[in-house]
A and B are shown apart, each in its own frame.
Chain A
Amino acid sequence: MKKTENAVWSFFASVKLALITLLILATTSIIGTIIPQKNPPEFYIQNFGPKTAQFFQLLDVPDMYNSWWFTALLLLFSINLIVCTIERLPNVWQMVVMNNLDTPIDRLEKMPTRKIFHGSASRQEMTQRVAAQLKEAGWPSQMEEKTNGTLLFSQKGAWSRLGVYAVHLSILIIFAGAIIGSAAGFKASVMIPEGSSTDTVYEYGSEKPIPLGFNVACDQFSVTYYDDGHTPREYRSVLTVRDSALAAPMTRPIIVNDPLDYRGITFYQSSYQPMQGFGVTITNKTSNASEDFQIPYGKKISWAGTDIEFGLINQQARSRMGDVSHVKFWFSDGQGDPATLWMEDKSTQSLSRQDAEYEITVRQLYATGLQVAKDPGVWVVYFGCSLMLIGLYVAFFLSHRRIWVYITEEAGNSRILLCGASSKNKIGFDKDFAALTERFEKNDVFQNA
């Protein structure tokens, strides 16, 4: 029993498995970039034939990144990470916290990076001088008296040995964040016509209604264009949240890259739809009477209580989306010939009539398309990402550097052994070490051996 346990354990503890898993993840991930994902079953039958389509469904290829086998691969990857960490971290931790003053002297004498000095001062005095030199050079030291000599030790960046484990942990944290997000969050969308509101959004894919628990209205949607007339500059929706928990309705405009966040639910500007309708405002400048209308295209409308009739009798499209750039406005007040005006969308024009001045504003009505997401795991993911970057930096660019100095005395003369080691970046450490020996050489007290 013990033996099989060990076999299972060492299977998951092997870096070979990690390498193979990484390469399998890399290779299988390609499939979903070539075969379009999340299309209806008919799509695959049409494009790949019924037999291949059936095979695809069997292996969840149409949604491979959520398939059982891809999830299993990620799970294998995670277990491998955890087991590898459990296997190796204790030893590395030992290296971080170990007392380096216990290092056997004969090991120090054999270190590849070492230098020997002599001095005429006593062991005690020499120890003080060496400690002062080390401190000045940025290597504050600890000291221990040994049977035949004195050992000084100093180190930098011991904790940098943990960098790689921070990276491994960060991957698990990101996975945890993703799981929290998919278990406790949702991705949905909703289309709200200007002037309407909703308390329900619809889940991606399933179209399942999700109640928000509050009400969101689209007061206004606008799309503006650059001077070239067709490249969109900004999509903007003015949203109002109404909630019994709010003292007053909360109104905020949103644009792409600047969503609205309310009670953990975020509303993103994602699309829009022009509607077959227009907002028309007519102001009688003479009497100061004014009225807003929402009218369909091509229908004659009367302003109640006046003789005024108006409508939109022609339009020019801006794009295939159905945006209108200009409309032809028709106006009659029962006196003289009716007037017609070509008006730009979202513009105001004056109209002089026999006994009054009018101001007319026309704008196309839209529905705004919002993506609505709730993801309580996102901060966990961001934390994991930050940890990963810090961990990678530490793991790649910082090293654990250790310096020992062993001082012995023979017939009134001291012998000083200076040696050191680094967990990585040997070349960089050799420079540090050279700088330190140079410091010793410049001091008259020490003579090269």
Chain B
Amino acid sequence: MNSSQLLGITTFAYLLSAVLYISIFVFRAKKLGLTATLVTLAGFLINTAGIGMRWYESHQMGIGYAPLSNMYESLVFFAWSIGILYLGIELKYKNKILGAFAMPFAAMAMGLAGLKNQDIKPLIPALQSNWLIAHVVTCFIGYAAFAVASGFAIMYLIKDWREQSGSGGALIASLPDLKVIDDIIHKTLVFGFLWLSAGIITGAVWANSAWGTYWSWDPKETWSLITWFVYAAALHARFTRGWGGKRIAWFAIFGFVSVMFTYYGVNYLLAGLHSYGGS
């Protein structure tokens, strides 16, 4: 079995996982809970094997490198990060409805990956650095946390909106309490912020060892900093001004838009040093 088959199965597993979790929520099919978790876990393990296999294949080709170097590989790792993060959250909060708002991101990431060029290509000299691994891993764990946080923010806003309009119903009641969702959003944001900071810092150290300047205001760097500012503002609003609930939920969604622009938009809309991320 080669890596692209394994990652193909991963895409299918994450899609199935998302459908199962959404069914648990929408049809209140609690019986599907165990299946959903097992499918997610299996998807995550196959995802891991796929990344490992791709690494192995690159060595077979004599150009061994950690598969974290282009858009395809980063999307696969993004999905992997969402997978492990979500499984951790499910284990901690013992609530499967959360999956309906988290796993669709993993499925989407794998779906997008399927549209990218999947060739294993040798690394150009600028990418031949161990900082590549540290930088990509830290960034994407952070991105995954922000993706999941925005999913939970959507859940919060739906629940809040339906309850306000008095049209709650059993479906909405099955969602966790607003206070609980708010707490999960906050914890996920905090987690993501730490990893985003680490991602920006490892990127700066790498840039300094490759080009002799740790910060050059290239569009990708600048956008990562913009994202950092947005989340820093959200955290300060919460810690010192007691913001919570709807406002933080909107911040989480707004922040994730900024994350997506940093990750995706910059590569296609703006030119810069990170141009190799585009192919």
Interfacial residues, chain A to chain B (CB-CB below 8 A)? 15-16, 18-19, 22-23, 25-26, 29-30, 32-34, 36-37, 65, 164, 178, 187, 226-228, 231-235, 255-259, 266, 268-270, 371-373, 375, 378, 381-382, 385, 388-389, 392-393, 396
Known: A33-B223, A255-B125. A393 touches B194 (CB 8 A): yes
Q: Does B12 have its Cβ within 8 Å of any Cβ on chain A?
A: no
Q: Could you list 29 A-B pairs, sorted by A, with CB under 8 Å?
A: A15-B240, A15-B241, A18-B236, A22-B229, A22-B236, A25-B229, A29-B229, A30-B222, A33-B219, A34-B270, A37-B217, A226-B63, A226-B122, A231-B122, A231-B124, A233-B122, A256-B128, A257-B125, A259-B209, A270-B211, A372-B212, A375-B208, A375-B212, A378-B214, A382-B205, A389-B197, A389-B198, A396-B190, A396-B193
Do B125 and A227 touch (CB < 8 A)?
no
Interfacial residues, chain B to chain A (CB-CB below 8 A)? 62-63, 121-122, 124-126, 128-129, 131, 190-191, 193-194, 197-198, 201, 204-205, 208-215, 217, 219, 222-223, 225-226, 229-230, 232-233, 236-237, 239-241, 258, 266, 270-271
Nearest B-chain residue to A374, judged by Cβ: B212
Nearest B-chain residue to A25, judged by Cβ: B229
Among all A-B residue pairs, the 4 with the closest Cβ atoms: A373-B212, A26-B229, A256-B125, A33-B219
Nearest A-chain residue to B221, judged by Cβ: A33
Nearest A-chain residue to B258, judged by Cβ: A26
Q: In the complex the two chains form, what is the Cα distance from A385 to B207 in whole Å?
A: 14
The answer, among A33, A255, A388, for a CB contact under 8 Å with B266, is A33
Nearest B-chain residue to A231, judged by Cβ: B122
Do B226 and A30 touch (CB < 8 A)?
yes
Q: In the complex the two chains form, what is the Cα distance from A26 to B258 in whole Å?
A: 10
Q: In the complex the two chains form, what is the Cα distance from A82 to B70 in whole Å?
A: 41
Residues from chain B with a CB closer than 8 A to the CB of A232 are 124-125
The answer, among B212, B219, B232, B236, for a CB contact under 8 Å with A268, is B212
Nearest B-chain residue to A16, judged by Cβ: B241
Residues from chain A with a CB closer than 8 A to the CB of B222 are 29-30, 32-33, 65
Q: In the complex the two chains form, what is the Cα distance from A269 to B124 in whole Å?
A: 13
Nearest B-chain residue to A227, judged by Cβ: B62
Nearest B-chain residue to A228, judged by Cβ: B122
A81 CB to closest chain B CB, in angstroms? 11
Nearest A-chain residue to B194, judged by Cβ: A392
Q: In the complex the two chains form, what is the Cα distance from A198 to B229 in whole Å?
A: 43
Q: In the complex the two chains form, what is the Cα distance from A373 to B266 in whole Å?
A: 27
Nearest B-chain residue to A269, judged by Cβ: B125
Known: A231-B124, A256-B210. A385 touches B201 (CB 8 A): yes
Known: A15-B241, A32-B217, A32-B222. A396 touches B236 (CB 8 A): no
Known: A15-B236, A32-B217, A233-B125. A371 touches B211 (CB 8 A): yes
In addition to A232-B125, A378-B214, 18 A-B residue pairs with Cβ atoms within 8 Å of each other are: A15-B236, A23-B229, A23-B233, A26-B226, A29-B226, A29-B229, A30-B222, A226-B122, A234-B128, A255-B125, A256-B210, A257-B209, A371-B211, A375-B208, A381-B204, A385-B201, A385-B204, A388-B201
Do A257 and B210 touch (CB < 8 A)?
yes
Q: In the complex the two chains form, what is the Cα distance from A25 to B198 in whole Å?
A: 20
Q: In the complex the two chains form, what is the Cα distance from A231 to B122 in whole Å?
A: 7
